[in-house]
């Protein structure tokens, strides 16, 4: 997820206001998991290796393109037996893994407003939101089922802080796993589960194809919904740290996309939003890119 896009659409407050109001008086501690079924990493695959893995990448509002990807897969009769997601890809992926029809997934996400996922504003030194609202929304949509109770195997990828270790949650509280995977630094408070603290999986694995490889997937469809850096408007006036982060992220994406049997790169415009028009645009782009990429899928 992209920090500035989400802050502007969800909070409609200028960046830096929270930090200025805190003045050192706000907490800097991570938020602890308070449930009874904490997400747990999946060390190895049990049973036959997955025949087809679907890997959905991060990308903030651009991740609405994943709904179009699912529409295309459904139209082709392609059904994965393993779904792996990072950040927004984890959100869309867990709904799909729950058995929710694609049409219903789209309805759920299109009806969602910033207040559904970003109502848990907190005064924290380094962030705006706890992530509890997102966790709650996911678990309600799944009727409280844990990851292992879903009909399709699912993994959410997060980053352990501060070591940068890649963590692949495959058991336990599904909403909490998605929350950990989506905890964007500067937007969500770091999420503590047990003794470890987690942040957005985008930091280390924007499109976690290597996870599918590690678990022995025979075939892999991987979807990248990154902004096309060639479309960066007036890049010479863009903050250099944004450009640097984009290049570094692209390096991570490219390193894993080459591992996929069917890499799908949805070329998205630089600016994104959470409006209905943008969601429709993103989904259409995802559907078109997927149908084209899978023309020779057998």
Residues taking part in catalysis? 87, 200
> 43: which 2 tokens?
């060390």
Closest CA relative to residue 265, chosen from 211, 212, 219, 206:
206
Dihedral sign computed on CA atoms, order 147, 179, 160, 201:
positive
> 56: which 2 tokens?
């959905």
Question: Beta-carbon neighbour count of residue 246 at 10 Å?
Answer: 17
Contact 139, 172 (CB under 8 A): no
Contact 80, 70 (CB under 8 A): no
- Bridge pairing between strands 52-56 and 219-224: parallel
- d(C-alpha 105, C-alpha 208), whole Å: 22
- d(C-alpha 189, C-alpha 183), whole Å: 7
- d(C-alpha 279, C-alpha 298), whole Å: 30
């Amino acid at each position: 997820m992209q920090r500035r896009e989400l802050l502007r659409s969800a909070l409609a407050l200028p960046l830096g206001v929270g930090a200025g109001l805190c003045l050192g008086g706000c907490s800097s501690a991570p938020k602890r998991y308070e449930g009874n079924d904490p997400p747990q990493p999946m060390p190895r695959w049990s049973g036959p290796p997955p025949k087809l893995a679907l890997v959905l990448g991060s990308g903030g509002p651009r991740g609405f393109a994943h709904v179009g990807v699912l529409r295309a897969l459904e139209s082709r009769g392609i059904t994965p037996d393993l779904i792996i997601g990072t950040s927004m890809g984890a959100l869309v992926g867990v709904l799909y893994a729950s058995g929710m029809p694609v049409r219903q997934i789209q309805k759920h996400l299109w009806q969602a407003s910033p207040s559904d996922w970003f109502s848990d504003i907190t005064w924290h030194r380094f962030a705006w939101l706890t992530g509890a609202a997102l966790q709650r929304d996911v678990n309600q949509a799944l009727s409280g089922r844990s990851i292992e109770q879903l009909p399709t195997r699912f993994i959410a990828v997060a980053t352990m802080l501060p070591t940068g270790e890649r963590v692949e949650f495959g058991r336990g509280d599904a909403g909490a796993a998605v929350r950990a995977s989506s905890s964007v630094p500067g937007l969500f408070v770091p999420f503590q589960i047990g003794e470890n603290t987690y942040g957005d999986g985008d930091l280390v694995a924007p499109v976690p194809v290597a996870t599918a490889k590690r678990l022995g997937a025979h075939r892999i469809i991987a979807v990248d919904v990154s902004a096309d850096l060639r479309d960066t408007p007036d890049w010479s006036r863009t903050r250099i740290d944004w450009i640097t982060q984009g290049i570094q992220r692209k390096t991570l994406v490219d390193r894993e996309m080459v591992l996929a049997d069917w890499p799908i790169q949805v070329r998205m415009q630089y600016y994104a939003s959470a409006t209905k028009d943008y969601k429709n645009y993103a989904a259409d782009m995802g559907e078109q890119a997927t149908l084209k990429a899978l023309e020779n899928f057998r």
